[in-house]
Amino acid sequence: MERYDPRAIDSRWQGIWESEGTWEVPNPGEPGFDPSKPKAYVLEMLPYPSGEPHVGHLKNYSIGDAIAHFRRRNGYQVIHPMGYDAFGLPAENAAIKTGEHPRVATERSIAAFRREFHSWGISIDWTREIASCEPEYYRWTQWIFLKLFERGLAYRAEAPVQWCPVDQTVLANEQVIDGHCERCGALVEQRNLEQWFFRITDYADRLLADFDLLESWPENVITMQRNWIGRSEGARVTFSCEELGIDFPVFTTRPDTLFGATFFVLAPEHPELERLVAGTEHEADVKAYVENARRETPAERGSGDREKTGVPLGRTVTNPVNGEEIPMFVADYVLMEYGTGALMAVPAHDERDYAFARSFGLPIRRVIEGTDPDEAVDDDGLPYSGDGPMTASGRFDGMQNRAAYGEIVDWLASEERGEPAVNYRLRDWLLSRQRYWGCPIPIVYCEECGMLPVPEDQLPVELPDVEDYAPKGQSPLATATDWVNTECPGCGGAARRETDTMDTFVDSSWYFIRYLDPHNSEAAWDREAADYWLPADQYIGGIEHAILHLMYARFFTKALADMGELGVQEPFANLFTQGMITRDGHKMSKSRGNTVSPSDYVERYGADAARTYVCFTGPPAKGGDWVDAGVEGVHRFLSRLWRLGMDVAATGESAPVAEPSEEARDLLGKAHWAIDKVTRDIEDGFQLHTAIAAVMELVNAAYRHKDSLEGDPALRFAASTAASLIFPFAPHLGAEVYEALEGRRVWEEPWPQADESYLRSDTFPLVVQVNGKRRDQVEAPADADEADLVRLAHASEAVRRHIDGREVVKEIVVPGKLVNLVVR
């Protein structure tokens, strides 16, 4: 008999799906739209096209495709699109080396991705394919930018920014990892530059509150975003330097410790520093200290428990609660980016302030009584961060600190020296990049009219061709003088274009909306289509996007909803983050030489084995190590299913019998159990590996009975059920076997339903225990009552041996499961 030939099967079905456009789905109002079906938007993170797809992509789209197929066959109208996040640095860096236009390398890579995705047989509606580097796409990225600009959510400001000296560009805070550039690993520097920002901080509270609107997101992703936003409640209190008449607002989470403030510290970057020390004996020391701090990397400065350093300023500020003059310092443990870049130091109740006070011999005044033996470093039990009654705090003495907290803030507010305040760690999103291969920012600058948005009817502002892609501290676009020099949309005079491009995270913050109406040349999307499909019911991707991409997309969705362009507040109702596949225990990388090319395996074993393997190798949420033998194991299983199907299809079938044999009933029971198991495993949290295991079990059982049940309808049922259940994971084989057995297309069949009558059985295995230890297993009638079960237990020879004359004091019966005999 011929053998399972995955390559022939793959190309046959891929041809059918391609020519029939099987996975295309219409929008509401379009021909073929079925309003009776509920919708399901199954979305995987779009790939960044660089080189060829790797196993991470294989896993991502295999999982997504399984979900898409499962939903379709459960009666949903499923949209399952694909696109490319095509702007970005790798293509540009390659262009700098080779001189080849980044578009060329990008298009080559897109072609490779497209070809491989087709060879995997994933069920994509290819009519909705998009690429973010196409003018038809980025025209609308620019449109969104302008909408944000209109509402004051995009703004330009000079700011200290993170500058990567190698990539010659500004980075978002999120792209700086431990002081290094996320992409190239270079040490990041600080610079002051005019940059474009999105006002994501306006949405901080809603980004936090709306976690409640999500159906199911991994807890760790929510936690990571929550930490990143870093909301803390407290008060803003103003200290002032009377000598120079400068007010210094500070943020504190502990207004109850205000009376314990004994000194005051500014960050080295604080803008008022110069004024404070100009012309004084401290000027030189302060300047030297600031210089030194500036040279240090954020990583060095931020490193844990290093010695506290600082320099006195020779000035004082007045503590608003008691009028005390307290000395000022500059110290690098104060961060300009958090709060106001200045803080009141309360050494008795803050570890860092305590360390600083000890080093500089500054007074330490306790204002809350109590001790925490774990934290205290000195004999007085200080520093103390716990609760207790107030002391040395004027009229608040004796009050519990928690109660004093609110009263002190109220009092300061009435004196206009403070107010309740909320502070965030989150910064605004810096989106401008001094690079070539990105979406141009649609802004022009005119001597007369100033900064103006490009009018909507002039979009897209197309990316011009340039001679040299290498950045030289300004965007390569600046060298395209014909493009830069333009007409002012306001006065018609000479104007210059903005030459920065956008961060690629802007492109990917709305692509899931464009999929819904990808060819619309009148608008970014049709509102009806967006309202119908959004939010995405299932989003699938890597954990590495837990913060950046996922938070930016949430922000865009909210901003667009506020503008009346969208009807949802959250883009992704359910999120699944897949684990990373490693090789030999390590992350795959070209430099390590341990990469796995999916195409090799697709060539050798077919798409189904490769796809099923990545879903089977462990819980999909966890990572796993790629093992070649594992792919072979899956391949063996698939060929066994194929053989089973072909053998059964080749033999005739006897007429249905009134009373199936015991063997047939067993097999039918197994099939219904598998249906139930696979359905639950996919629905309840992506237990794809156990779902596949259940199908394997069914196939093994059917295979065992293949000869004895030849011609029995039960065998055919088991085989076609297995084909039907494996289809979401191994669609080519599933379709092939199902067609051979049933003569129909499996994807047009509803998902199989477990028949309860087959899940039950006439008998069940009764476990018999003696003192909680399993000693025997006997067949018990399903309808046996407790007394019958006890009788059966006692009848067991093995059990009698164990009791060995001792007295049975108690019989514990778990109906349908076991009998436990307690003996003494």
**Interface of this chain with RNA, residues 215 to 234, rule: CB under 7 A:** 219-220, 223-224, 227-228, 230, 232, 234
Contact (Cβ atoms closer than 8 angstroms) between residue 502 and residue 515: no
Cα 439 to Cα 562: distance, rounded to the nearest angstrom: 24
The span of 36-44, 554-562, 727-735, 769-777 binding RNA (CB under 7 A) equals 769-777
The span of 61-69, 449-457, 564-572, 697-705 binding RNA (CB under 7 A) equals 697-705
Rounded to a whole number of angstroms, the minimum distance from the CB of residue 538 to RNA is 20
Q: What SS3 class is residue 425? A: coil
With respect to RNA, which residue has the nearer C-beta, 301 or 665?
A: 301
The span of 32-40, 436-444, 445-453, 796-804 binding RNA (CB under 7 A) equals 796-804
Contact (Cβ atoms closer than 8 angstroms) between residue 793 and residue 786: no
Does the footprint of RNA cover residue 820 (CB under 7 A)? yes
Binders of RNA in range 631-690 (CB under 7 A): 632-637, 639-640, 643, 687, 689-690
Does the footprint of RNA cover residue 28 (CB under 7 A)? no
Contacting residue, 740, 802, 803, 808, with RNA by CB under 7 A? 802
With respect to RNA, which residue has the nearer C-beta, 283 or 632?
A: 632
Rounded to a whole number of angstroms, the minimum distance from the CB of residue 620 to RNA is 9
CA distances from 369 to 254, 375, 384, 392, 397 (A): 15, 14, 8, 10, 10
The token pair that represents 794 in the structure block: 């006692």
Kindly write down the DSSP assignment for every residue of 531-546, as one continuous string. Answer: HHHPSBSEEEEEGGGT
With respect to RNA, which residue has the nearer C-beta, 306 or 760?
A: 306
Rounded to a whole number of angstroms, the minimum distance from the CB of residue 142 to RNA is 30
Does the footprint of RNA cover residue 251 (CB under 7 A)? yes
Q: Within 10 A of 637 (CB to CB), how many other CB atoms are there?
A: 22
Residues 586-625: x where in contact with RNA by CB under 7 A, - otherwise, as a string: -------------------------------xxx--x-xx
Q: Is the dihedral of CA 215, 221, 223, 226 positive or negative?
A: negative
Q: What SS3 class is residue 432? A: strand
**Residue keyed to tokens 């028949």:** 755
Does the footprint of RNA cover residue 786 (CB under 7 A)? no
Residues 541-570: x where in contact with RNA by CB under 7 A, - otherwise, as a string: --x---------------------------
The span of 98-106, 162-170, 299-307, 386-394 binding RNA (CB under 7 A) equals 299-307
Residues 389-428: x where in contact with RNA by CB under 7 A, - otherwise, as a string: ----------------------------------x-x---
Binders of RNA in range 514-543 (CB under 7 A): 543
Contacting residue, 771, 785, 786, 806, with RNA by CB under 7 A? 771
The token pair that represents 400 in the structure block: 């519990």
Contacting residue, 213, 377, 627, 782, with RNA by CB under 7 A? 627
The span of 69-77, 296-304, 564-572, 750-758 binding RNA (CB under 7 A) equals 296-304
Q: Which long-range contacts (CB under 8 A, 24 or more apart) does 648-655 make?
A: 648/706, 648/715, 648/716, 648/719, 648/741, 649/740, 649/741, 651/710, 651/711, 652/711, 653/711, 653/712, 653/713, 653/716, 654/711, 654/712, 654/713
Cα 248 to Cα 241: distance, rounded to the nearest angstrom: 8
Contacting residue, 50, 508, 724, 769, with RNA by CB under 7 A? 769
With respect to RNA, which residue has the nearer C-beta, 480 or 644?
A: 644
Rounded to a whole number of angstroms, the minimum distance from the CB of residue 249 to RNA is 11
Residues 143-182: x where in contact with RNA by CB under 7 A, - otherwise, as a string: ----------------------------------x-----
Cα 629 to Cα 309: distance, rounded to the nearest angstrom: 58
Rounded to a whole number of angstroms, the minimum distance from the CB of residue 349 to RNA is 9
Rounded to a whole number of angstroms, the minimum distance from the CB of residue 253 to RNA is 4
Contacting residue, 108, 352, 527, 604, with RNA by CB under 7 A? 352
- What ranges make up the beta strands (E) of 668-784? 763-770, 773-781
From the centroid of its chain, how far is CA 732? 30
Binders of RNA in range 301-320 (CB under 7 A): 301-306, 308
Rounded to a whole number of angstroms, the minimum distance from the CB of residue 301 to RNA is 5
238 has which bridge partners?
Answer: 249
360 has which bridge partners?
Answer: none
Kindly write down the DSSP assignment for every residue of 162-177, as one continuous string. Answer: EEETTTTEEE-GGGEE
Does the footprint of RNA cover residue 252 (CB under 7 A)? yes
In 3D, which of 240, 309, 306, 319 has the Cα closest to residue 272?
240
Contact (Cβ atoms closer than 8 angstroms) between residue 385 and residue 372: yes
Does the footprint of RNA cover residue 338 (CB under 7 A)? yes
Rounded to a whole number of angstroms, the minimum distance from the CB of residue 193 to RNA is 21
Q: What is the chain's alpha carbon radius of gyration, rounded to the nearest angstrom?
A: 34
Q: What SS3 class is residue 743? A: coil
In 3D, which of 535, 543, 591 has the Cα closest to residue 568?
535
Rounded to a whole number of angstroms, the minimum distance from the CB of residue 619 to RNA is 4
Does the footprint of RNA cover residue 767 (CB under 7 A)? yes
- Degrees to nearest 5, angle at CA 726 with 24 and 687: 95
Contacting residue, 154, 267, 317, 610, with RNA by CB under 7 A? 267
Does the footprint of RNA cover residue 805 (CB under 7 A)? no
Cα 329 to Cα 309: distance, rounded to the nearest angstrom: 10
What is the length of the chain? 824
Rounded to a whole number of angstroms, the minimum distance from the CB of residue 12 to RNA is 22
Cα 6 to Cα 11: distance, rounded to the nearest angstrom: 9
CA distances from 501 to 94, 239, 273, 748 (A): 18, 42, 34, 46
With respect to RNA, which residue has the nearer C-beta, 103 or 352?
A: 352
With respect to RNA, which residue has the nearer C-beta, 418 or 442?
A: 418
Does the footprint of RNA cover residue 238 (CB under 7 A)? no
